[in-house]
Amino acid sequence: MAEILDGLKVSKEIKQEIKAEVEKIVAGKRRAPHLVAILVGNNGASKAYVNAKVKDCEEVGFQSSLVKFPSTVSESELLEKIDELNKSKAVDGFIVQLPLPDQIDQEKIINAIDPRKDVDGFHPENFGRMALEMDTFLPATPFGILTLLERYNIETKGKDCVIIGRSKIVGRPMSILMGRKDFPGNSTVTLTHSYTKDIEEYTKKADIVITALGDPHFLKGDMIKDGAVIVDVGITRVDDDSPKGYYLAGDVDFDSCAAKASWITPVPGGVGPMTRAMLMKNTIIAYKTSVYND
């Protein structure tokens, strides 16, 4: 049976480290880091995720603010708020929770964020710096996966890594980061997607499989080789007959893959908590490097 890459455990350790750092900052008579979240509309998943981020801020000692807009907000109103946050010396980083309503150009919103406050790591400038292996904010989920592999000392150098899914948020940046000249990294990376023929031909040869599809139980045990490291980014609500009426499923068929893998992330409790912890990490990095932090 595979050993567990316990994202919940590691994320708690990281938040404790950040909390200790914030306590030293405050003890030195400096203000605590400040993270702002912008929430548009009433999407249940988005609300839950933003509320979790606010709770994380409280845990580590950050100041946090939540800015809510109705789903009918205009693009110009949202851009005006972003400009205000960009200019504020009291704000170190902020996020705009995605997805956004149809009347708003998502790319225009992302491009409007000051790259120095882009703690989600989505701005083209930060993405470009990441691709060039320069210091920058990394997208929170890939950052969380890298940190999890690092904390468990998973060997990546010279390994064959297959990534399933090419989203701008996870798959594409993950493919860049696993191929970088660093640890974790130095892997030979194959990025697969919906048009890839016979994905199992790639996954059966892979030392590391990272899947971010949103397709429950997609990756089966007969699609991986013995001893593979499996990282499951997917999380989907699947209806069942339980009192809740659903359960949370990853992209990986856990039981069959765990029987063959060396390491595997659970769902929930794997990548999700790491994503949230890395947002806190990016915020304190923004605080320490901010031109406004005097």
Confidence tier at 292 by pLDDT (50, 70, 90): low
Residue 196 has pLDDT above 80, yes or no: yes
27-114: which CATH architecture?
3-Layer(aba) Sandwich (3.40)
Ligand-binding annotation for 167, yes or no, is yes
Render pLDDT for 144-185 as a digit per residue (tens, 0 to 9).
Answer: 999 999 999 999 999 999 999 999 999 999 999 999 999 999
pTM: 0.95
Give the CATH superfamily of 140-272: NAD(P)-binding Rossmann-like Domain (3.40.50.720)
Q: What's the whole-number mean pLDDT along residues 207-211?
A: 98
Ligand-binding annotation for 18, yes or no, is no
Domain ranges of the chain: 27-114, 140-272
Domains 27-114 and 140-272 in one fold: yes
Q: How many CA atoms lie within 13 A of 78 on its CB side?
A: 29
Ligand-binding annotation for 180, yes or no, is no
In DSSP terms, 229 is beta-bridged to: 208, 263
Ligand-binding annotation for 235, yes or no, is yes
232, with CB counted inside 10 A (0-12, 13-18, 19+), is buried
Question: What is the amino acid identity at position 116?
Answer: R
Residue 12 has pLDDT above 90, yes or no: yes
Cα separation values, 283 from 18, 95, 119, 290, Å: 10, 10, 6, 10
- The catalytic site residues sit at 53, 97, 120
Render pLDDT for 40-54 as a digit per residue (tens, 0 to 9).
Answer: 998 888 888 899 999
pLDDT averaged over every residue in the chain: 96
Q: What's the whole-number mean pLDDT along residues 97-107?
A: 94
